[in-house]
Structure 1
Amino acid sequence: MATKVWMPLCKQHPHNPPLSLSFILSPFQHMTMASSNTQDGHLDAIFNQKRALRTQVRKTLKAIHPSHRSQQDDAIQNIISESPWFKSSLRLCAYISCSALREVDTSKLLSQILQDPVSGGKKLYVPWVEDKNSHMRMLRISRIDDLIANSMDILEPAPIDAYGNAREDVMQANEPVDLFLLPGLAFDKSGRRLGRGGGYYDTFLKNYKDLANTRNWIQPLLVALSYSEQILDEGVIPMTSSDVPIDALVSPAGVIPITTAAINRSMVPLEVALKGTWIRGFSATTVNFPSSDTGML
């Protein structure tokens, strides 16, 4: 109950301070305000850490020689295309890489999905940014020509196809997505992902995971693509409750399954997976985990 305060029936003298709000707040309200201030301060600290880390990672990515980046692009895409979890996926969402952002290239993978007769049965959904408020949709495309450059010179599908029909939105699809191929600025082996700060992927992934739960679907496998230089030591990337962790990570060295879902789909012996060993294509036959991938920044 609020503390009663006697207030005189006269105007406040201009030289006297106004009555403090603290006199009319209950102890519970005091505690709530203090807790809120503490949480706000904690979030501010996390956002500042993320901002500084993004700056650092961008400098590192900029310093990678183009030929080395191209080699890593090829290696990562080859690993994915040869992986059983990719070959068996029927419906997947994948980002369209942007060289200006120094993202891991996905052009060969997308072409394979859309052109290769072996992959002919796959449905591919790619991002379309709806607005500047972290709203993004995943729309189905059937050919590379479905993509056009937006105002940021980033390729994305037009919401309406060449025949005047609305493209299929993955959130309205009748069947679940098996696999997400995700971009990011930095990652670690515990599943933490540092995005670019817009919140588009975290917002979309949370909404899709909620949809999958509602429809009793198996959750999709969330796989991030990463240059060696983007992989940081565990604990370096700060997290908030709105950050969605990944299930597995692909670098030129191979694949590391992180969650139980990734381990189950990889058919990797549990004792191997728990050691955080890099496994090429989720196969225990080739293990290659160079020290350069344990934390470059």
Structure 2
Amino acid sequence: MATVVSAKRELRKRMKQILSGISDESISLQSKHVFNHILASKEYQESRTIACYVSMPSGEIQTDSIIHAALADGKALYVPRIVREPPTTDSKTQISYMQFYRIYDRDDYERNLISGVWGIREPSPKFNDLPRSTVFDQGSRGLDLILMPGMAFDREMARLGHGKGYYDQFIAKYRLYASTNGWSKSNLVALGLSEQIMEPGTIPMTEYDIHVDTLVTKGGFHTKD
């Protein structure tokens, strides 16, 4: 385990350097290609409920266009927020986890997201003075499609995150909840820049790390070799 953690740390350092050197123009162009691939896909067209990350200002596929399209197409859209629980008498450590909250329309998306971790916009916890719905609320239909970010990916559908484990933990919790409630399996689709794609077996993985089902780059959809 210690060897895997160290290998991940070194790969993140290398990827941080690589991603910092990608121009805004290249990211914008690659994002447009990915947007077109997503909207033309069966996975998107047949989905009713979508979870999508809100992109950082740089270093990854931008998702504003995908989010705008999903809302315009009448999809039930959820985006992530990092929730921080205060320390309790039993634990002095602050607990944080990722939760996905419903975005109701484009105006909600444009007006009610605030800057959070790493400059990523996050939904306010309330909408019209009421608690904002989450994917786990009663009446939710589950998620048909989950669009995920990452620092690096390989052709075996391994994913390297930023090291906090938020997505792996959320997906593990979601899968357990979905199986209990009889929801269908979600498609895990990662969106990646061409510079983020590694050779098979490059990304160190543990038993707790989630593989994605599909990877989408400017070249289209990719599945496990």
- The one-letter amino acid of 1:136's match is M
Unaligned residue ranges in structure 1 (runs of 5+): 1-42, 259-275, 277-297
CA gap 1:51/1:254 in 2 versus in 1, 3 angstroms? same
Correspondence for 2:148: 182
Question: Contact 1:134–1:198 at 8 Å: present in 2 too?
Answer: no
Correspondence for 2:57: 99
- 1:59 partnered with 2:21: no
- The one-letter amino acid of 1:141's match is I
- The one-letter amino acid of 2:101's match is L
- 1:137 partnered with 2:103: no
Structure 1: distance between partners of 2:101 and 2:64: 17
State the Cα distance separating 1:213 from its structure 2 match: 1.4
- 1:201 partnered with 2:167: yes
Question: Contact 2:188–2:213 at 8 Å: present in 1 too?
Answer: yes
Structure 2: distance between partners of 1:192 and 1:80: 20
- 1:69 partnered with 2:22: no
Structure 1: distance between partners of 2:138 and 2:157: 27
Task: Please list, as runs of the form range in 1=range in 2, the aligned pairs for 1:108-187 lying within 5 A after superposition.
Answer: 108-114=65-71, 116=72, 119-120=73-74, 122-131=75-84, 133-143=95-105, 144=109, 145-150=111-116, 152-161=118-127, 163-174=128-139, 175-187=141-153
Structure 1: distance between partners of 2:96 and 2:70: 27
Higher helix share: 1
Residue 99 of structure 2 aligns to a residue whose secondary structure is strand
Q: In the comparison of the two structures, how many residue pairs are matched?
A: 211
Structure 2: distance between partners of 1:149 and 1:227: 23
CA gap 1:152/1:196 in 2 versus in 1, 3 angstroms? closer
State the Cα deviation string for residues 93-129 of structure 1 (Å, max 9, x = none): 00000114x1210000111122x2xx12x10010010
Structure 1: distance between partners of 2:46 and 2:8: 35
State the Cα deviation string for residues 15-56 of structure 1 (Å, max 9, x = none): xxxxxxxxxxxxxxxxxxxxxxxxxxxx11100000000111
CA gap 1:151/1:99 in 2 versus in 1, 3 angstroms? closer
Question: Contact 1:134–1:203 at 8 Å: present in 2 too?
Answer: no
State the Cα distance separating 1:147 from its structure 2 match: 1.5
Higher strand share: 2
Large movers: runs of 4+ above 4 Å = none
Correspondence for 2:87: none
TM-score normalised to the size of structure 2?
0.89
Structure (1 or 2) with the larger CA radius of gyration: 1
